[in-house]
Amino acid sequence: MEFSAQQIADIIQGKVEGDPDVRISYVSKIEEGKKGTLSFLANPKYTQYIYHTEASIVLVNNDFKPEKTIIPTLIRVENAYTAFAHLLEVYNRIKLNKTGISKKAHIADSAKIGANVYIGEFAFIGDNAVISDNTKIYPQVYVGDNVHIGEGTTLFAGVKIYSDNFIGRDCILHAGVVIGSDGFGFAPQEDNHYKKVSQIGNVVIEDEVEIGSNTTVDRATLGSTFIRKGAKIDNLVQIAHNVEIGENTVIAALSGISGSTRIGKNCMFGGQVGVIGHISIADDVKVAAQSGIGKNVMTKGEILQGSPAFEISKYRKSYIHFRNLSEIKTKLEELENHIRELKQPDRS
């Protein structure tokens, strides 16, 4: 796809300085710009590159004042970074604007398929499934019986949605996501064997949720596992049965949330965070990467770090001592030996 400078300016409500007909077909970093690409300048520390870049078009802020001759065509906007992000969104929407149903897809007779839907090769749509308008289902997606997929949602290749689960509007599930597999429920028996506890609940994913590749969300034992509106879940995250993730909460990769835990709204979890089961975490809580949460967090807006995690300023003060434990131990041993010598009777 090709766009002229003027077309781009019209999309982002910018002003062209230079050739309005110059065309680009891709984007690039300003320091790696090549002919036929578009770049942007938002951070002043990259200003030096605008005088040497080979990019054909560069987005700049309205207040940018060049000190040397600039070869690329400029498009001036209020905020170059925001405008660039908007262009990427438009480009991605055009690129992914697929429609039509492949003859190689399997769709149950009882399934309901909306308008303007894309269903790719070897996708499977089960009995009584509902696929709403403007939904995109990429090849090799499995949608089980009685699943509801909301309007405008995208399921990328290889997503698996087990039966009876609900996906809201405008969600994005990336490749390899599994929704509704069994929770980890096993009852120990007297002979040291484990009896499986059937998981008969489901998963409810509300509107505008995005879930990264190879993340798993387990169905509830009873009731539902909830991912509330606007939550963003990274790649390779495990969310166990009967968990509730609050609205607009963000969880980074390799984190694990144990069963029946409730996480509040607007929380932020770094990578590799672990949370034990059956606890509650308040709204607006932030947890640093590689932390372990082992008890309820009741204070709204608290920031935690460590394993077990505690208040971050206390953790940072304590860390000074953590890293010097070996030296502290040596000094204590020397002090103990000195005291022991002082306590010995004088034999002179």
Q: Which of 241, 278, 321, 338 is catalytic?
A: 241
Position of tokens 């040397």?
A: 68
Q: What HEC string does the chain produce?
A: CCEEHHHHHHHHCCEEECCCCCEECEECCHHHCCCCEEEEECCHHHHHHHHCCCCCEEEEECCCCCCCCCCCEEEEECCHHHHHHHHHHHHHHHHCCCCEECCCCEECCCCEECCCCEECCCCEECCCCEECCCCEECCCCEECCCCEECCCCEECCCCEECCCCEECCCCEECCCCEEEECCCCEEECCCCCEEECCCCCEEEECCCCEECCCCEEECCCCCEEEECCCCEECCCCEECCCCEECCCCEECCCCEECCCCEECCCCEECCCCEECCCCEECCCCEECCCCEECCCECCCCCEEEECCEEEHHHHHHHHHHHCCHHHHHHHHHHHHHHHHHHHCCCCC
Q: Are strands 73-77 and 15-17 parallel, antiparallel or unpaired?
A: antiparallel
Q: What are the Cα distances from residue 347, in Å, to 38, 336, 341, 343, 344?
A: 88, 20, 12, 12, 9
Is 241 catalytic? The answer is yes
Residue 102, C-beta contacts closer than 8 angstroms, at least 6 positions apart: 119, 120, 121, 122, 123, 139
CA dist 139 and 104 (Å) reads 9
Question: Which residues are the active-site residues?
Answer: 241
